[in-house]
């Protein structure tokens, strides 16, 4: 019996790596639903290759164009829908057993929650879900007794080394340090979006690439690890490891440290999660330690990369601080990518928004969404101030 898969964010970097792995095992999987935002040509190609039953494009005009394109290509039997409710519907479909949550940002929260509430097995790449609504999200996972497996390479590595969590002293999340690890503050002041998106080890979407460059990505991952492994901030450490060969480590009270290694290719954690508790081929080449680079480690520099400190502070502050952090960061990163905000001001917008807003912990989903919205409005105001030096 094949397992029906829905990929939320199929046109993205994780979505495509997932399709690559799944395609290697046609005896095990069938693609039931794919979702995207506005990249019509890419989605049309995915439809021709994978023949899903349903496709959802978040943008209505993209759905319309895709319908026409599929009609011309003789693929009229693929249903095409659009909008947020259709995204959630794709995750809930009866033929879907498992959902890859790979939409970027807060837009992924509602469809991923829909998958959880429908009792689907969930593979979580969309870390922003847990940052903005960790408590509520994990509560629903427990309530619906859903299997949730981490795709983020660090969390997947920790999961592989964590066993039942007995005797764990701390986890060490490794971080490449991004493309600007060795750059001076003066150089950081003038970096461009293309420089920020040129990651030395990974090819990723533009938002996560900028997050890696500011190290906010590692901060989001600390919060993600807190919710996934139920550990306080004091037991989550970040270690710079520029080669991205060790994907993270777990230290036990007896001094043992278990690490997961592999070439930096997201198909490994994706295949691990898809096959768990078995193993499957991913297409990733063997790790050649003898001929590879030397493995190096260093402590993160919180002065040059203040976003990491802001995320640790938000986790420690509790309440809705992480929801505010995530929303402000999304606004600031978008503005940087569009050329309105200098790179170093991303942290300033996030810090000022966190300074202005300290809402109480959200009790329900509506609270989370209201705080997210308010934080975006406040961040936009701070953006206007910090971005005014541009052009």
Contact 103, 111 (CB under 8 A): yes
**DSSP 8-class letter at 341:** S
Give the residue carrying structure tokens 């193993």. Answer: 279
Q: Is residue 224 a contact point for Mg ion (CB under 5 A)?
A: no
Q: Is residue 202 a contact point for ligand NAD (CB under 6 A)?
A: yes
Query: What strands, in cross-sheet order, belong to the sheet with 257-261?
Result: 236-240, 168-175, 246-252, 257-261
Contact 173, 225 (CB under 8 A): yes
265 known member of a binding site: no
Q: Is residue 103 a contact point for ligand NAD (CB under 6 A)?
A: yes
The first and second tokens of residue 189, run together, are 């002041």
CB of residue 229 vs Mg ion: minimum separation in angstroms?
14
Closest CA to 105 of 137, 134, 83, 129: 129
Contact 323, 371 (CB under 8 A): yes
Identify the residue among 89, 152, 224, 251 touching ligand NAD (CB under 6 A): 152
Identify the residue among 152, 211, 224, 351 touching Mg ion (CB under 5 A): 152
326 known member of a binding site: no
The interface partner of residue 353, options being ligand NAD, Mg ion, none and the CB cut-off 5 to 8 Å by kind, is none
Q: Which helix (H) or strand (E) holds 56?
A: strand 54-57
CB of residue 70 vs ligand NAD: minimum separation in angstroms?
17
Beta-bridge partners for 170: 251
Binders of Mg ion in range 23-52 (CB under 5 A): none
Q: Which stretch binds ligand NAD (CB under 6 A): 11-19, 178-186, 253-261, 277-285?
A: 11-19
Q: Which stretch binds Mg ion (CB under 5 A): 34-42, 99-107, 110-118, 151-159?
A: 151-159
**DSSP 8-class letter at 298:** B
Return left, alpha or beta for 166; rule: phi > 0 is left, psi -120 to 50 is alpha, else beta.
beta
Q: Is residue 266 a contact point for ligand NAD (CB under 6 A)?
A: yes
Binders of ligand NAD in range 50-89 (CB under 6 A): 58, 87
Residues lying near ligand NAD in the complex (CB under 6 A) are found at: 9-15, 36-37, 58, 87, 102-104, 107, 125-128, 152, 202, 204-205, 207-208, 266
- Binding-site members are 11-14, 126-128, 152-154, 176, 199, 205, 212, 217-218, 221
């Amino acid at each position: 019996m094949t397992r029906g898969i829905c990929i939320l964010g199929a046109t993205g970097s994780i979505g495509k790596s997932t399709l690559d792995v799944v395609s290697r095992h046609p005896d095990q999987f069938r693609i039931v639903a794919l979702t995207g935002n506005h990249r019509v040509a890419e989605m049309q190609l995915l439809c021709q290759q994978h023949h899903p039953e349903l496709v959802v494009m978040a943008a209505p005009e993209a759905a319309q164009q895709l319908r026409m394109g599929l009609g011309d290509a003789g693929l009229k039997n693929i249903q095409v829908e659009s909008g947020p409710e259709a995204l959630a519907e794709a995750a809930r479909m009866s033929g879907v057993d498992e959902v890859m949550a790979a939409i970027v940002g807060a837009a992924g929260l509602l469809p991923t929650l829909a998958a959880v509430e429908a009792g689907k097995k969930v593979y979580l790449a969309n870390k922003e879900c847990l940052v903005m609504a960790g408590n509520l999200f994990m509560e629903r996972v427990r309530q619906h007794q859903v299997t949730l497996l981490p795709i983020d390479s660090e969390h997947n590595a920790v999961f592989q080394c964590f066993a039942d969590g007995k005797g764990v002293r701390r986890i060490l999340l490794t971080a490449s340090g991004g493309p600007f690890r060795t750059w001076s503050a003066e150089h950081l002041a003038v970096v461009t979006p293309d420089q920020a998106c040129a990651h030395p080890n990974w090819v990723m979407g533009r938002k996560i690439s900028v997050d890696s460059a500011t190290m906010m990505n590692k901060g989001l991952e600390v919060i993600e690890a807190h919710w996934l492994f139920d550990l306080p901030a004091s037991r989550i450490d970040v270690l710079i490891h520029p080669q991205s060969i060790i994907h993270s480590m777990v230290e036990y009270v007896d001094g043992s440290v278990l690490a997961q290694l592999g070439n930096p290719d997201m198909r490994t954690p994706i295949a691990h999660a898809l096959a768990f508790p078995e193993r499957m081929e991913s297409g990733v080449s063997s790790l050649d330690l003898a001929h590879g680079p030397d493995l190096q480690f260093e402590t993160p520099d919180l002065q040059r990369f203040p976003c990491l400190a802001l995320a640790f502070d938000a986790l420690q502050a509790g309440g809705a601080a992480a929801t505010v952090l995530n929303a402000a960061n999304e606004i600031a990163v978008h503005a940087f990518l569009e050329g309105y905000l200098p790179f170093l001001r991303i942290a300033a917008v996030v810090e000022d928004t966190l300074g202005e807003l300290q809402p109480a912990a959200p009790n329900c989903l509506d609270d989370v969404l209201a705080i997210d919205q308010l934080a975006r409005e406040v961040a936009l105001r701070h953006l206007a101030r910090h971005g005014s030096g541009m052009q």
